[in-house]
Structure 1
Amino acid sequence: MAIAKTELEFMKEALPFWNALSQNQKERIEATASAFTVKKGQSLHDGSQDCLGLILVKSGHLRAYILSDTGKEITIYRLFERDACIFSAACMLKNITFDISIEAESESRVLLIPTAVYNELNESTLAVSGFTNQLISSRFSDVMWIMEQVLFTSFDRRLANFLLEQSAVEGSDTLHITQEAIANHLGSAREVVTRMLKYFQSEGMVSLFRGGVTISSRKKLEKLSEK
């Protein structure tokens, strides 16, 4: 769990407020920050009661999602290298109750500043509180965009957008993702995803294989996503 020197250097470069900290504050972070590896599919944060601290992604990528009372999931944003997540320290955010869960979409290396330490910095240093506010604003913008997509965008367009996004994430037109996982990302039922993918396949946009999807016509998907 201890943070290596190279990981500490990464943290210094990735956090825009580092140079605004006092020497004592820097030493406090160096003494308390930790690093750990999260395996694909492993959860590292589960709701507002799980108050880890500020998460910073060094490698891999994570998925933040909300879970309904009926067990339906929807992805609200994804975290990649150098991305930070403040909702994993939601207990320090006054008047905000946001039950977000975070899991690894691939094996990921994560750096962590404990909640108590980050809260001290946030309350005492303008550069840190500015970063926190910017991060909260950005994540709520992500949430509002997702809500807009769910409420006002047809499912075929949302699915086309997701497949193109997943292709960018995997760096390939062959996507190793199950229909169940796609449904969880989009807040839908697997049966709905299956029907729409079969329609995409009949239109020559994709081909399906066990445990994944291959994009057959990026042009057709892009045209659909822009409708």
Structure 2
Amino acid sequence: MDFSSYFPIWNKLTPTQQQILERNAVLRKVDKGTVIHNGTVECTGLLLVRSGQLRAYILSDEGREISLYRLFDRDICLFSASCMMNSIQFEITIEAQKDTTMWVISADTYQRIMKESAVVANFTNEIMATRFSEVMWLMEQIMWKSFDKRLAEFLLEECSLEETNILKITHETIAGHMGTAREVVTRMLRYFQNEGMVRLARGTVEVTDKIKLEQLQND
């Protein structure tokens, strides 16, 4: 399938705009673990995921990570083109969580079309609003929700995404997603194991009682 079938508002663009986008959209394949964008990169450009999974996260001065959101097939990443938006002051890192194929559109190209098309400008604002809503939701979770509930929710979400109850994931990786220390994750997972909700092995977390996790999440 080509670029036009993945770009959400393709049919609302003029033929000239369509031609500019198609000509400038570069299909790129990256391996799992590849850092696509970070604070040291001046401006990667707009990313449109064809297949795979990307993770957007921020990094503290102490080196602690916290995931902001993830991107899947047909999702668009604007923060990687943050040079278009002078109000964006924080540094964000985009990493491939799975082998990923995506289109990269230069910030200059997208900005040119956005300036002349109200449809593209509105679409861009909607994406930004959605992403900021996700970040605000995350902040609320961190501030007001206990860690055991957050971890239960994370494990259930991972099972749904990976379509398996046996998650090949380390405590360090979970800590990176959740913005906490590995020791905190290990302690809580051991508690979950004692309660019969998970089974731990090296490099894996097996969810053994989804109902208990769901009850914990919703209490």
Fold conserved between structures, TM > 0.5: yes
Asked if 2 retains the 8 angstrom alpha-carbon contact of 1:75 and 1:184, the reply is yes
Instruction: Indicate the RMSD between aligned Cα atoms, in angstroms.
Output: 1.1
* 3-state SS of paired residue (1:99): coil
Q: Does 1:80 align with 2:72?
A: yes
Counterpart AA for 2:32 = K
Partner of residue 24, structure 1: 16
Please give the residue correspondences for 1:1-227 in structure 2 after superposition, counting only pairs within 5 Å.
Answer: 6=1, 9=2, 11-47=3-39, 49-227=41-219
What is the CA distance between 1:30 and its match in structure 2? 1.6
Counterpart AA for 2:4 = K
Dislocated runs of 4+, deviation >4 Å: none
Which stretch shows the higher mean deviation, 159-168 or 43-52? 43-52
Asked if 1 retains the 8 angstrom alpha-carbon contact of 2:33 and 2:95, the reply is yes
Taking the aligned partners of 2:198 and 2:79, their CA distance within structure 1 comes to 36
In structure 2, list runs of 5 or more residues that go unmatched: none
Partner of residue 3, structure 1: none
Taking the aligned partners of 1:207 and 1:95, their CA distance within structure 2 comes to 45
Counterpart AA for 2:132 = F
What is the CA distance between 1:49 and its match in structure 2? 4.5
Asked if 2 retains the 8 angstrom alpha-carbon contact of 1:50 and 1:88, the reply is no
- Deviations along 1:28-54, one digit per CA (max 9) or x if unpaired, are 112111011111111001027431111
Report the TM-score when normalising by structure 2.
0.97
In structure 1, list runs of 5 or more residues that go unmatched: 1-5
Report the TM-score when normalising by structure 1.
0.93
Counterpart AA for 1:58 = R
Counterpart AA for 2:8 = P
Equivalenced residues, count: 219
